[in-house]
Structures are given as C-alpha cells and as structure tokens.
Structure 1
Amino acid sequence: MTTRPELPVALGETTALVRLAVCYARPDHVFLEDVEVPAGASIVQAIAASGLVRACPEVDPNTMRVGIFGKLKTLDTVVREGDRVEVYRQLTADPKQARRRRVQKTRATGTREGQKWIRGKSD
C-alpha cells in the first residue's frame, strides 16, 4: 500500500519523490508501510507520512530510537530511495540476562549439551 503525502507544488513545478519503507515491530503486530516523500525529507517526516503514530499510538519518534537498515540514525537524517526506516521500542529484557537464564535452564537438565562449557568437565 502506497501513501502519498500532500505536496505543496506550484503549477509547472515537479518535485522528486523518494520511495521508502517505515517499519515498527511489536510482539503482536508489525507495522510496515511503503511511503513516498519529497527528496530531502528527514526520518521524522517519513514517519509522519507513514501514519505510524496513528496506527500505533504508543510510538513517540521524538523519544524512541530510529535507524535505517539496523544502523542507528538521528531524526534529522535525510532519507534516500529504497531506505527502510525502523523505529525501535524499548527492550523488555536484558539480552545478556536472558541468555544466562537459557544456559542455566539447559544445564539444569543434566544433558551433555548443558555441561559442555563448564570447566573441568570432560567426557
């Protein structure tokens, strides 16, 4: 689905448009919208044109981290043709702590897989 923002264009003028995607993922829903914005538009303008804030009211692009193809960017970064603008939500768990819990759970089962990284244990 392509959304075309209203562009202030005088008669006889043409404005170059940049096509890109805006995405935001929640555990229960993924927002992915293709949009066209005027050349020179920033990330915050692309997010506004996508309708993300209307679809997901918890999103505040001014306080959340944003990026393009997994690389953190600032809100005033100019978007280019084919970019995927991503809005990142807060982590619900520390990744290091989550991995430690998974390892402890595997070790508690007593299988060789759970024991292979413990020093002094070898078969």
Structure 2
Amino acid sequence: MKITLIYASAPRVVHERVCEVAEACTVGQALEQAGWLERFPEIRGETLGLGVWGRKTDWRAALQPDDRLEVYRGLRVDPKVARRERFVGQGARSTGLFAKKRPGGKPGY
C-alpha cells in the first residue's frame, strides 16, 4: 500500500516521501520500513507528535492506503503568548476590527 510521510525537521525544511509499505501496517512499522527512524533519530522521542491527515495518532494505529503520515515538532512559542506580545508592541489603537476610521464616521463604524 502507498502512503506519504511528512516531517519538518527544522523551520522551512520539509521532508516528504511517498513509499510502499505492507498491508495492515502500523505507524511505527511504516516509519521503520521507510528508514526514517535511522535517518531522524529524534522521531523516537516522546516530544514529537504523530498524525494522519492532521489528526493526532499513536505508534500502534493502523494505516490505510493513501494515508498521509505526519511527524510534528513541538512549538517553540505558545501562540497565545506570541499574539499577546504582538499586541503589546502594536498598541491598542492600531489593531482590531475598527482601527481604521473614516473621517466624520461614528465610533465603531
């Protein structure tokens, strides 16, 4: 059966490979058959996540034909914290839905 493996080992570096694996293959077996566990030893660590078509999965999950197996790195910055810091840097008056006002317009329009 044919599956696609995706892994972004670093920012702006994406490894993609279409490979043939045995029928009734699990996620762990697919990574091993493709040679990615030797090529990227950090995949074995508990910090990286696994998913099929954007849905979180584990090592024992069975794969279907034409599945896209993705290996996720951890986030370096919490998105909520990053947004809060951007907001502080921009200031309250220059952000948001009503930041641009028409001359003579009512507040909020």
Shorter-chain TM range is 0.7 to 0.9
Pairing of 1:106-117 with structure 2 (within 5 A): 106-107=90-91, 111=94, 113=95, 116=98
* TM superposition outliers: structure 1 runs of 4+ over 6 Å: none
Pairing of 1:23-38 with structure 2 (within 5 A): 23-25=6-8, 26-38=10-22
Counterparts of 1:105 and 1:116, CA distance in 2:
18
Mind listing any 5+ residue stretches in structure 1 that lack a counterpart? 1-17
Counterparts of 1:31 and 1:57, CA distance in 2:
14
Name the SS for the 1:96 alignment partner: helix
Counterparts of 1:96 and 1:75, CA distance in 2:
29
Q: Deviations over 1:72-119 (max 9, x none)?
A: 0121111111100011111111111011112222227x53x35848xx
Look up the equivalent residue of 2:2 and give its one-letter code. R
The Cα RMSD (Å) is: 2.2
Counterparts of 1:89 and 1:72, CA distance in 2:
13
Counterparts of 2:16 and 2:97, CA distance in 1:
42
Counterparts of 2:31 and 2:91, CA distance in 1:
45
Q: Deviations over 1:34-93 (max 9, x none)?
A: 111111000011111222233333222x52221101100121111111100011111111
* % identical aligned pairs: 29
If the length of structure 1 is used for normalisation, what is the TM-score?
A: 0.69
Look up the equivalent residue of 1:23 and give its one-letter code. I
> Number of residues paired by the alignment?
99
Choose between structure 1 and 2: higher helix proportion: 2
